[in-house]
Amino acid sequence: MIRLLSLALLVLAFSWAALAVEPDEILADPALEARARALTQDLRCVVCQNQSVDDSDAPLARDIRVLVRERIKAGDTDDQVRAFMIERYGKFVLLSPPVEGDTLVLWLAPFAVVGLGVLGAWAYIRSLARQPATAAPLSAMEEDAVRRKLDDAP
């Protein structure tokens, strides 16, 4: 019973994305529909931001899916559709923006953050190594307390 329930939950978890494209959006020509799906999988939902337009069920994502299909039916190539979307929404609409001067920060920022973290950890460890390993001497009261405990020990 648990296996059946687990399987049902797994199927449900992976099928939610298939529900994003609504039946009235699908093109009659399978080749054009395949192109539209490929394009919308590479476009970012500007509402959800970390989801493709193909996977998102946001109203704006639906509008973008419909717009992509209209452009394809009008005879636009994949590059023309991408260029239209970039012109309309900026390069942010691409899930994988091209490596260019203005998007270089997007590509290099994760490496810079990791590098700064490693540099900070290295500096912290070095500062710990430079500190003296000796402890401060005990006060007279602390020495008396230690002697009493040692004398009471079996």
Residue 16 has pLDDT above 50, yes or no: no
| Rounded Cα–Cα distance for residues 41 and 61 (Å) | 11
pLDDT at position 18 is: 47
Mean pLDDT of the chain: 81
Helix (H, G, I), strand (E, B) or coil at 128: helix
Residue 20 has pLDDT above 80, yes or no: no
Answer for the pair 36, 65: CB distance below 8 angstroms, yes or no.
Answer: yes
Going by C-alpha positions, the residue among 27, 64, 24, 19 that lies closest to residue 43 is 64
pLDDT at position 57 is: 83
Residues 84-139: tens digit of each pLDDT: 998 998 888 888 877 777 778 878 889 999 999 999 999 999 988 887 777 788 89
**In the 8-state DSSP scheme, what is residue 1?**
-
Prediction pTM value: 0.55
